[in-house]
Amino acid sequence: MARPVWSGALSLGLVTVPVELYPAVADHTIHFHQFERGTSDRIRNRRVNERTGDEVTQDEIVKGYDVGGGDHVLVEPDELDEIAPERSRRIDIEQFVELDEIDPWFFDKTYWLKPAKEDFAKAYGLLLRAMDRSEKAGVAKFVLRGKEYLAAVRAGEDVMVLNTLHFVADLRKPKDVMGKLPDLPKPRPKELDMALALVDEMTAPWKPEDYRDEYSKRVEELIKAKEAGKEIAHEEEPAPSADVVDLFEALSRSVKSRKSGGKQPKKKAAKKPDLSELPKADLDKLAREQGVKGRSKMTRAELEKALKAS
């Protein structure tokens, strides 16, 4: 079992629940060491004084902020520690917002929040249920590893989810990154209709399990093959597609390709279940999947009616 990366308390008004924070995402990046080609000699990074060429230990290093003209303001590590955010052990929810009001642009990392002990399960469960029924996210700030974070706390599947958020000052506007954007000509109606038809033809239910990191898989296969002294079969690059000057023609070909099985044919819609035969737990699950608002407050009859209307 993973170890918590933070422990403290979740606070909502006068209600305080001791909690632990766990990473919800694992890094599956394949990491390599560096070697000099033709040898088994490791290459390592060293901190070197660029004037003398001498290696410098960590305790002899201070930070320097470039103020321009080759000048720097030097800052000692102790000086940074003195002004660092206090090591608060609390996640204080300051307000609640509709979750869909938070643009995905703001989301950073995802964590799970669990009660620190079984003794706090009742208070934790109460807050979890309240968040689930309100369908809102609590906005909070907390300190992790000496840095202050903005966060959204929301209800997940039987557990609270904490997403760290970017501050507005961290977000870059498109024009600040790319400069002037091109003027976008208004599309012809038939081009827009065909583009919408292509989007419709390619629309399917969101199934995240269908998407995998194929590159990492190929890297693993490469490593295993080289370890066994085998040759690697390289995939041939796809043939370049014929140039299509007319945008409408390109969209038309794309739609026809989808309909004729250029990729996987569109599956027939599954027969809808008889809602009257399903237990309320299954109706709740269907309502969650279909994004029915206020589902947790509904009676069985209200859930059936909302699902039939969705």
pLDDT in tens, 218-253: 888 888 888 888 877 776 776 665 565 577 788 788
The full set of domain ranges for the chain reads 6-27+84-170, 185-202+246-264
pLDDT per position as a tens digit, 120-163: 999 999 999 999 999 899 999 999 887 899 999 999 989 999 99
pTM: 0.69
- Going by C-alpha positions, the residue among 138, 165, 137 that lies closest to residue 149 is 165
Token digits of residue 92: 């204080």
Distance between CA atoms of residues 128 and 84, nearest Å: 32
Token digits of residue 41: 């000699």
* Residue 140: Cβ within 10 Å count: 21
Distance between CA atoms of residues 294 and 291, nearest Å: 9
SS3 11: strand
pLDDT per position as a tens digit, 94-115: 999 998 899 999 999 999 999 9
128-137, 210-219, 248-257, 259-268 — which is least confidently predicted?
Answer: 259-268
Mean pLDDT, rounded, of the chain: 86
Whole-number pLDDT of residue 241: 59
Higher pLDDT, 199 or 282: 199
What whole-number percentage of the chain has pLDDT above 90? 43
Provide the residue count of the chain: 310
Distance between CA atoms of residues 149 and 241, nearest Å: 47
Token digits of residue 302: 């209200």
Residue 267: is it exposed, middle or buried by C-beta count within 10 angstroms (0-12/13-18/19+)?
exposed
Confidence of residue 61 (pLDDT cuts 50, 70, 90): very high
Backbone angles phi, psi at 158, to 5 degrees: 65, 20
pLDDT per position as a tens digit, 275-308: 877 777 777 778 877 878 777 667 778 888 888 8
Whole-number pLDDT of residue 253: 81
CATH topology of domain 6-27+84-170: Ku70; Chain: A; Domain 2 (2.40.290)
- What DSSP line would sit under 123-189, residue for residue? HHHHHHHHHHHHTEEEEEEEEETTEEEEEEEEE-SSSEEEEEE--GGG---HHHHH-SPPP-PPPPH
Whole-number pLDDT of residue 238: 67
